[in-house]
Structures are given as structure tokens and as C-alpha cells.
Amino acid sequence: MENIPIFDPSEEIKKVARIKSMDEYWSLVEEAKKDYEGFWDRLAKEKIDWIKPYSKVLDDSNAPFYKWFIGGKLNVTVQCIDRHLQKRKNKAAIIWEGEPGDKRVITYLELYYEVNRFANLLKNRFGIKKGDRVVIYMPMIPEAAFAMLACARIGAIHSVVFGGFSAEALRDRIVDAQAKLVITADGAYRRGKPYLLKPVVDVALSKDCESVESVLVIRRNNEDISWHEGRDYDYNELIKNESGHCEPEIMDSEDPLFLLYTSGSTGKPKGVQHSQAGYILWAQLTMEWVFDIKEEDTYWCTADVGWITGHTYIVYGPLAAGATTMMYEGVPVYPDAGRWWRMIDEYKVNQFYTAPTAIRLLHKMGEDEPEKYDLRSLRILGTVGEPINPDAWMWYFNKVGGGKCPIVDTWWQTETGGHMISPLPGATPIKPGSATFPLPGIFAEIIDTEGNKKEPNEKGYLCITKPWPSMIRTIWNDPDRFVKSYFGTCKKDGKPVYFSGDGAIYDEDGYIWITGRMDDVINISGHRLGTAEIEAAIGHHPRVAECAVVGKPHEIKGESVFAFVVLKDDEGIADEVELTKEINEVITKDIGPLAKADEVAFVPGLPKTRSGKIMRRILRAIAKGEEIKQDTSTLEDPSVVEKIIQIVQK
Ligand code: 7RM
């Protein structure tokens, strides 16, 4: 951790930010420490438009099934839409751009009508009631947000399934949730071409989906799709008949708002269940604290609504905060690597939030591309999803942010609902690659399994040791798995605490550095090593663009390191032996000789999900020479698997 530069917030940012100094940050932290319930009580009263006030802040009598804001009544869509109609009815709520370049601006008043008509359609035409599950399998079009909010309006529980998932994956989720309705689109545009979603739904529904009564299809690209009379309905036709006012269902604070399936360490995805009040409170508050969202800002998060980042930071958070949220349909490199920079310029984006994997891709494809555009509107940059390497960080900071925008490296998970650990743009001195400090009210601690706090530079379990309002409430249909997965590993003061699955360390200044999933640890000669640590080391080699490390069974050492390396340049790898040696030198330098790679494969790309997560299970199988049993259809580029196999086998 030596030689890490520190970037203080600029005077300009400090002047305007809500939280203007570390003193202000620490005083909020103290407030939460002194009177935990009082802290959340104050914020919930200040921020939420309650239909009926709650009688108790926190019920921990049935831990870890914590309940927040007991007895409170609200509707999340009132928080996101209705309450803005007095002051902001003609303000852009959503600015959308399709990949082909088509545009839509939806004001708060228009959003009100769209969501209400949609809600009426669900209720009147499909008989959807409070508590029913609705699966949303959609591209990045405004109707995806309308659909989510329409469910919330009437108290239905939505389960958005990422549009890149296969029919199999979609079916599993439909069946587990016992969904009554599937909302989809004919298709959309990606990489300059139309692609189809509805046929995937048809295949998914071809078996085991008896719960599904109807499919509602939104027309996006008017491609030919097959139609099942009596099951499939045309949204664009039906919506015309619905009225633009629908009474919001009165929801309890703890009624489920949505399910979102996420992978665990075993095969079956977990239906992470979120609540109403706690979730929306934290979504809104973190928009204000972390993105310092202001009335005139245009905010853009490039995630997909199929992931938690899209839920909290494209739809619910920005709208609850009364912000203007941008939505983009396609890929970042269409028609060229300047697409996003052009959009930031054109829409005068103030906050830009994306994933390190996208930053690395755009860096690789166009080092100087951002210079062609006027990006001066940017005030705050953000990253999420994985640790960001110094190289990518510096490029993002200098070339995209012009050296003046703080980068908020936000650590959080599907299960946490919103940001947990992040810099505050007007307060936190930033160290590139560190998520810095827990947000006020969040008791994130690095501990051992007994709850002892780790010393600086000692890796430990990243835990949240007090409940927080936006936390996962349970796993749908599987409360035992909820308890075991999250509360079965670590204790503090004898009581089970939430374990994130991630490892982390404090540095000498108390900054938090995420080391990666603990479930990706490998054991070499009795030494436990995070694959992420070795990857970071390899990443220090100047020619390495990115890499992934997996453990491979080894006769003597237990496991050995197998590294898959993508080079930055296309100069070829004629010097493979020399390069392997150099890579092992950087590993040895950063960690020690025990972490050296026995095998290094130079590959053209890594198998990644479209949200940028490397599928290590596939790489482990390749390293072992096993057949790939896993579904590769959800990968960003499924063809890369075959290419890697060929390289490894040769
Ligand atoms: C928001 C999201 C969660 C996992 C988490 C980490 C990793 C996320 C960061 C990060 C380092 C970050 N939800 N992760 N953010 N690692 N720095 N800023 O990604 O449920 O899909 O994934 O992602 O391992 O446990 S998620």
C-alpha cells in the first residue's frame, strides 16, 4: 500500500457538496453510533412521504429477519413520482437514448401517466394484485422502468431478469417466483443490430411455467415474433385504453418490493427479497450523499435494469431524489468507442457511473477518444462492481474527468440494496482503488469469524455488524439459506452478523480495500490466496490489460495458480516464455513466490457476464481440462470460451 497518491476533493466540489468535510462525515458517523435508531428515525422522517407514520424504527426480535419502520404505510411510487408533481412536473425524469440514436424525454408528469396507465393495465386486464409476482424481461427502454414502477404502484412484486440471460435461466427464475405475468419486448438493438427477447420467453415458457397466465409484449423493434393467442398481449394496443390515474396501493414498510436473483456459491440463484420503506430511504439518501445530486443535474448510470445497480441507481434512487436519470439502450462501442463520451457531451451529464470493466474496454479502444468531446459538465464519476485497477482509475480520472472529478468507488451488493462503502465526493480524500470508508449509519467492519477487528494489512471478513434499512430481508422461498448464506459465518459479541462474502483489509489510515470474494480463495501449499490479489499483481505488468486467476489441483501444493492473461497490445506473444517469467516476477514482488503462476495462458478475452463479472467457474474447468457444463449463453462474448480452450490445449 505504499506510494498510493491521495486525491483531496477540490474546493469547487466542497463548496457545493451536501457533506463538505471529513468533520461533517465523522459527525454523522458519531450520530449513528450514539443513537442508532434515532439516526434512522430522523432520516426516515425527513426523507419519506409517509401515508401513515411508523410506530417503531427497528424490530430485531426475530434476527436476522430484521424489520424496519414498523407499521408505516407508504407507496414507493408516490415517493418517486407523485410528490414531485408540485415542484417538478415538467422536469425530465428520464432521458433515454436508443442505440440507433432515437431519443425520448419523459417528464415527471408524463412518467406519472405512463406508470398509472401501466398499473391500471396490470390490474384491470391481467388481474394482478398486491403480492403477485411479475417477471420483467426487457431491454433498456423506458418501458422497463415504467413496468417496475407500475408493479410498485399496485403492490405487485417485480422480478427483473437481465435481458442477456438464456431461456433456461429465465425459466428457473419464473418457476422459483411462481410469476403470474411476464412483461417483455419483441427485442431491441445491440451492436447496431436488432436482437430478440420474445422468442427467449417462448422457449422459457415451453415447460414448467404453469404459473404464468399471460405475456405482455412491448413493441420496440417490430421484428417478426410468434404470437400465442390467448396468452400474449400487445402492450402498445392495450395501453391506449387505460386511464392515467391509478390509486397507489397502501403498502406496509415491510411488504416486499421486488425480488432480484443473484448467484451464490452453489448453482441455484437466490431470489434476494427487498422491502419498501428501508430500500427507498437508502436509495434516495445515497443519491444525495454519494452522487450529491442537485436539482439541475443530469445523472447517468450505465448499468442494466436487470442488475441491482439498475434498480437502485437508474430507477428508484434517482426518481426518489427527484433527479433526471439517463438510460441508454446499447453497447458503449457502437458506432465507435466515443459513443458514451459523445452522449456525456450532448446531454451535459453531471454524474457518470459505470463499471471498471467498461472503463478498461474504452481505455483500450480509445486512449484519447474522450478528448474529442467536451466533458466539462462532469462533476462526479463513479465505479461499481469490482475493484478498479490504478491504470484504469488514472485514465478515468484524467481523461474522462479532466483531473477535477472525484471518483466514488462504491462497494455494495445485490443484498445490500444500496451503497455501503464509498467516498463522499465533497469530503473524502480518495486513494485510487479503495472504496474508502463506510457510509454514515453503515457498520462495515473487517473482522475474523469471532468478531475481532483486523489490524491494518490483515485480511479479514467484510461484515456489516448492524442491520441497515435497505438490507436483504430473506431469500424468496428459502429462509434457511438466507440465514446460512449471510449469517452463518461471522459473529460479533456472540451474535451472528451479516457476512458479505468478500474479503477486505484496512490500510494504515483505516481505508478499506476490497480483496475479492472469499469464495474464490485458493490454497497453495497451505497458504490461502485471493485470486483477486494475484490478478492485481499481474495487472501491474505494463503489458497486461486484464487477467483472471483460478486454482488448479496440484499434486504437491494442493492447488496451483493458473492465470489467463489478456494483453493490451496486439504485438503478439512471440516472447511467451519471457512474458511468463516477467509476470511471475511481478507476482513475486507484490505477494511472494508462493503465489507464482505455474501456467499462464495468453488469451484474447475473458468469459464475462454482460455486467462484467468474470465467470471463474468456466476458467477453472478449462484449466483442469474439463468439459464446460455451464450455460455460456449469458456471456458477453460466448465465442471466447472456444478460443481459450484452443490456446490452453495447444
Ligand atoms: C453492485 C454489485 C457484488 C459483489 C461484491 C464484490 C463486488 C461490487 C465493488 C466490488 C470491489 C467495488 N452487486 N464489488 N462493488 N468489489 N469494489 N466497488 O455489483 O451483487 O452484483 O455484486 O461485487 O465482490 O460482493 S452484485
pLDDT tens digit string along 488-504?
999 999 999 999 988 99
Q: Which residues face 429 on adjacent strands?
A: none
| C-alpha separations of 25 from 5, 291, 440, 459, 561 in Å | 21, 15, 7, 25, 42
Residue 385 pLDDT more than 90?
no
Residue 33 pLDDT more than 70?
yes
Whether 386 lines ligand 1, by a CB cut-off of 6 Å, is yes
Centre of ligand 1 from the C-alpha of residue 70, in Å: 30
Pick the closest to residue 464 from 440, 497, 441 (CA basis): 497
Q: Which atom of ligand 1 is nearest to the CA of 383?
A: 18
Whether 489 lines ligand 1, by a CB cut-off of 6 Å, is no
Residue 570 pLDDT more than 70?
no
Residue 40 included in any domain: no
Whether 411 lines ligand 1, by a CB cut-off of 6 Å, is yes
Residue 362 neighbours by CB under 8 Å, 6+ apart: 332, 333, 337, 340, 369
pLDDT of residue 571: 64
Q: What is the average pLDDT across 380-385?
A: 95
Residue 322 included in any domain: no
Centre of ligand 1 from the C-alpha of residue 386, in Å: 5
Residue 204 included in any domain: no
Query: How confident is the model over 233-275, as pLDDT tens digits?
Result: 999 999 999 999 999 999 999 999 999 998 655 546 789 999 9
Q: Which atom of ligand 1 is nearest to the CA of 514?
A: 11
Cis peptide before 438 (omega within 30 of 0): no
- 3: exposed, middle or buried (C-beta count within 10 Å: 0-12, 13-18, 19+)? exposed
Whether 43 lines ligand 1, by a CB cut-off of 6 Å, is no
Give the up-direction half-sphere exposure of residue 585: CA atoms within 13 A in the CB hemisphere: 8
Residue 595 included in any domain: yes
Q: Would you place residue 526 in the very low, low, confident or very high pLDDT band (cuts 50, 70, 90)?
A: low
Whether 385 lines ligand 1, by a CB cut-off of 6 Å, is yes
Q: What is the CATH number of the domain that holds 541?
A: 3.30.300.30
Query: How confident is the model over 54-110, as pLDDT tens digits?
Result: 999 999 999 999 999 999 999 999 999 999 999 999 999 999 999 999 999 999 999
Contact criterion met (CB below 8 Å) for 49 and 83 = yes
Cis peptide before 64 (omega within 30 of 0): yes
pLDDT of residue 509: 96
Residue 601 included in any domain: yes
Whether 514 lines ligand 1, by a CB cut-off of 6 Å, is yes
pLDDT of residue 425: 98
Residue 630 included in any domain: yes
Cell numbers placing 457: 494489512
Residue 597 included in any domain: yes
Q: Which atom of ligand 1 is nearest to the CA of 388?
A: 17
Q: Are strands 558-567 and 544-554 parallel, antiparallel or unpaired?
A: antiparallel
Q: What is the average pLDDT across 3-18?
A: 93
Q: How many domains, in total, are found in the chain?
A: 1
Q: What is the average pLDDT across 570-599?
A: 84
What burial letters (b/e) apply to 120-151, b meaning 16+ CB within 10 Å?
bbbbebbebeeebbbbbbbbbbbbbbbbbbbb
Centre of ligand 1 from the C-alpha of residue 275, in Å: 21
Residue 82 included in any domain: no
pLDDT of residue 522: 75
Cell numbers placing 182: 411476464
Centre of ligand 1 from the C-alpha of residue 312, in Å: 14
Q: What is the average pLDDT across 566-590?
A: 84
Centre of ligand 1 from the C-alpha of residue 580, in Å: 30
Structural domain including 550 reads 520-649
pLDDT of residue 267: 43
Q: What is the average pLDDT across 187-216?
A: 96
Query: How confident is the model over 406-439, as pLDDT tens digits?
Result: 999 999 999 999 999 999 999 999 999 999 999 9
